[in-house]
Amino acid sequence: MLINFSIENWMSFRDRTEFTMTATKEQQHGNRLAKLKRYRLRALPTAVIYGGNASGKTNFFKAINFAKHYITKGSLPDYPINVEPFLLNEGKRKNPVSFTFEILIENDLYELSFTLSTMEVIEEKLIKITSSSEKTLYHRMKNGIPIVLHPSIATGRLMFAFDGTRDNQLFLTNSVSQKITTFLPVFKWFSETLVLIAPDTRFDSFEQFITESSSLYDTMNSVLPNLDTGISHLGEEEISMDSLPFHKEFNQKLKEEVKNNHAIKIRNKDEQIIVTRQDDELSVHKLYTYHRDSKRKDIRFEMRQESDGTRRIIDLLPAILDLVNTRIPKVYIIDEIDRSLHSLLIRQLLEIFLSSCSEISRKQLLFTTHDLLLMDQALFRRDEMWITERDPEGSSRMISFSEYEDIRNDKDILKSYLQGRMGGIPNIVAKPAWNAE
């Protein structure tokens, strides 16, 4: 589970910004909170982030996405780190970028923090948090200062891995690449538990509902006809690897990225292609939909013939179903969950997910949205709702609704938001130039 996350000097977030999935003391919807008795806290199963255009919602998503990629994929030798500092302040443009994650892995809390410039890791630290103390597993600093390892894990292999860690690389990443398992649970949380879905993702991990042997395939086909898409079921057709309309470098990347018993989804214009690896053999399938004509005969449709909304449902539904059905504690973060989708459909999907949450579940769904009809205390707790807003200097900040003391659980929160009492709404000029007389 994601417990806390903070960033500083990342894109529009100039100042240190803290985001938490720790529940407050309020009792509303308390039956769905995960109870972490060892740490005497309750964790939220969901978080929704509202805000005007360019307020920072997507930059928040990009921060976590960058950190995941940097941790799991690393960086190339002698290449700059693709950090994106706050640009509207001369001092901040030259300052490093900082990330801090507090995550729950099984029953243990870890805090991973790192500070980056464009050329090097300034500082990196991993702490294991117990119910009564904190144990720094390692602390790495620049300027040639040796890494500090906790005596319980200090080994020659770890020191060897540290000596081989490049300036632009995390020690965590390099130790795992050297087949050292000491920090593997933390690495796997970012590589496997944390899943991010952008509205325009072209190349991403994908659950194998496309194969008839998958239980998710059957679930998708039972749910889709009930979502008013006109689709009776999904189908696929195997195509040759050579027929993929991509350059050789991209095809080589596919061969490297697709792990055994996993799949990769590729968007090629309006097509959806699934590349899977089974028993070390790659196979490529093209996704189709089927509709029934007036004689109840199945007619195959190309994906390009489906609406944007239908294609978006096909993108998001595996994530929702995975969260509802799996016992694996996944954390999904979705940017613009409402893209091309009707409010009632989104609400129904969210209600399905929330109804599956309990004090023993460890799954989470975070998302950004412009859909104000989801700003409803009948659906979300106040501490599950956040606003992003940008100040006159272009700096973003995030505010939890729980910080507003005058918002009762019976209050029309949407009305207060639209009246501007809570910030996070577009600041539109009263007389735009196109209306000037």
pLDDT digits over 214-251, tens only?
667 788 888 888 888 899 998 888 888 777 777 777 77
State residue 407's pLDDT score. Answer: 66
SS3 263: strand
The residues, ordered by sequence, that sit 6+ positions from 145 with a Cβ below 8 Å of its Cβ are none
d(CA 341, CA 353): 17
State residue 319's pLDDT score. Answer: 86
Cα within 13 Å of Cα(94), Cβ side: 2
**More confidently predicted of 144 and 219:** 219
**pLDDT bracket for residue 279 (50, 70, 90):** confident
The residues, ordered by sequence, that sit 6+ positions from 39 with a Cβ below 8 Å of its Cβ are 109, 129, 131
In this predicted structure, the answer to whether residue 203 has a pLDDT above a threshold of 50 is no
pLDDT one-digit tens code per residue, 294-306: 999 999 999 889 9
Residue with the two structure tokens 């307020």? 55
State residue 191's pLDDT score. Answer: 93
CATH classification (class only), 1-199+335-437: alpha beta
State residue 172's pLDDT score. Answer: 97
398-405: average pLDDT: 88
Angstrom CA distances, 198 to 61, 239, 281, 291, 322, stand at 9, 26, 29, 27, 17
State residue 117's pLDDT score. Answer: 96
5-23: average pLDDT: 97
SS3 396: strand
Contact call for residues 45 and 363 (beta carbons, < 8 A): yes
d(CA 141, CA 125): 9
The residues, ordered by sequence, that sit 6+ positions from 139 with a Cβ below 8 Å of its Cβ are 123, 124, 125, 147, 148
**pLDDT bracket for residue 130 (50, 70, 90):** confident
Residue with the two structure tokens 């740490």? 39
pLDDT one-digit tens code per residue, 414-432: 777 776 666 656 665 555 5
State residue 423's pLDDT score. Answer: 62
State residue 144's pLDDT score. Answer: 65
266-275: average pLDDT: 76
pLDDT one-digit tens code per residue, 81-118: 999 999 999 999 999 999 999 999 998 999 999 999 99
State residue 411's pLDDT score. Answer: 65
| Integer-rounded Cα radius of gyration of the chain | 23
| Mean pLDDT taken over the chain | 87
157-174: average pLDDT: 94
State residue 280's pLDDT score. Answer: 77
State residue 235's pLDDT score. Answer: 87
Domain boundaries, given as residue ranges, for the chain? 1-199+335-437, 201-317
pLDDT one-digit tens code per residue, 331-343: 999 999 988 888 8
State residue 286's pLDDT score. Answer: 86
Contact call for residues 29 and 350 (beta carbons, < 8 A): no
What residues pair up with 264 in beta bridges, in sequence order? 205, 275
